[in-house]
Amino acid sequence: MRRLATVTIPAPDLRPDAFLRHASGEARGFWARGHHWVAHRGVAVELRAPDGDAGDRFDLVANQAREISMAPVLPAGAARAPRIRFYGGFSFRADHKPEGVWESFPSSLFHVPLFELEGDASGDAWLTARAIVEKGEEEDVFVRLRHRAEALRAELASMAETSPPRRAQVIGRRIDTDRRNWEGAVDKCLAAVRAGRVAKVVLARIRDVDLDDAVDVVDVVAHLWEANRGSHGFMFEPEPGAALVGAAPETVATLRNGVFHATAVAGSIRRGASLREQAELAATLLASEKDRVEQRIALDDMVSRLETVSRQIRTDPQPHVLTLARIQHLETEIRASVPGDVGVLDLLRLLHPTPAVCGLPRDAAMEVLAEEEPFERGWYAGPVGWFDAEENGIFAPALRTGVSVGGSWRLFAGAGIVEGSVPALEWGETAIKFEPMLGALEESGVVLEQSDEAAGLSGAIGSFKHE
């Protein structure tokens, strides 16, 4: 029987950015919420559902995980037994085809890493090394793994003592979705709302950033995380040079020992330049009937789906304002108790795609998006995160996100279209939602030049040589 041998050592002197830069050329990832973070590199185990498979990809991935003996083999006297986590995610659509900018991202993909560094604001950090072993090989492998972990720690600690070189500026050209065409698509979505076909559609647009040289994706995610600590910060690079980066403000599903938590987020307004303006705008958002309806749509659908597995569901009586670095949203907390045989992937199957990233009714909204979005969403708005052998885990939608291929970036932003939506205002909302990624790119050395928006959507799609 093949099992995972695991050795963990304390590593309080290590930081995730040095750990990830050292892993350049390997599969790697980063996941953070607040002051807790996990960075990983290499692949010990990979899970994926076959692309185009008629089966349930959430169930297929869960079954693959169950077939692997995930109880870690630990050295005698080990003081810490870390959870073995599968890191990755799913595409927005089940019928996603990994091509173009999404060539390295199949409809589902998860990694158990060879090395994992985990820490928090306390300064504690732990370095874990893993290897697949056959029964009877454990003792020898523990010596090798400890040596690998200690050698890596020493090398990374020496790197941290020296300042990284100052990065040269990189010129980036920004190419937007054509505004007239996009606002015309909003009008068509509104027509679908008025016809009773849908109650809401989340219409996205893209912004391509072509660079004359590559920027360090680790710099990008570091700046994004630092500026958006209230969000889920993430990076997933399954192959060198192909990375998904983002800062999602909401939670699709968190499950720990039968306790479920999620957030229903919808309705948006800018943050404001001062505390007074922020408070005034928050009050405007709370008083907006259009935004409260949009948020209620998201909440009610999530609750109704959860009711198929739990009757012990608790929600906030009223939404509150979630204030982020550049934008404010209406948010409602959802908690529930679920049976022991329900795992986090089961909950994702129920909830994805939520009305906050797709619309309602789900199938009709998906049809409208297929008609009005002339690009592939890929993993944009799909659930990303991790789950463990006990089927606990945490997933967020891939929002405020971009995908990097060959040094260039494609950014995504969407707006919920409901009765009362104004196309020009929805365009402005998506512009605000681009700002976290644009800000992270600029902090990483990118100097943006505005390209001619008249190039339109065809120019945006054509800007990637992979398509």
Active site residues: 200, 250
Euclidean distance between CA atoms 122 and 407, whole angstroms: 35
Contact, 432 vs 327, CB < 8 A?
A: yes
Question: E-strand spans in 82-231?
Answer: 85-90, 108-112, 115-119, 125-134, 170-176, 200-211
The secondary structure of residue 166, as a DSSP letter, is P
274 alpha carbon, distance to own chain's centre: 29
Euclidean distance between CA atoms 183 and 189, whole angstroms: 10
CA distances to 25, 90, 159, 438 from 22, in Å: 9, 27, 9, 25
* Among the listed residues 395, 459, 377, 383, the one whose alpha carbon sits nearest the alpha carbon of residue 202: 377
Contact, 433 vs 400, CB < 8 A?
A: yes
Euclidean distance between CA atoms 467 and 451, whole angstroms: 20
Query: Where do the H-state alpha helices sit in 216-329?
Result: 217-227, 275-287, 289-306
**What residues contact residue 329 under an 8 Å CB cut-off, 6+ apart?**
249, 250, 265, 266, 267, 268, 285, 321, 322
* Among the listed residues 289, 249, 206, the one whose alpha carbon sits nearest the alpha carbon of residue 460: 206
Euclidean distance between CA atoms 91 and 109, whole angstroms: 9
Contact, 431 vs 372, CB < 8 A?
A: no
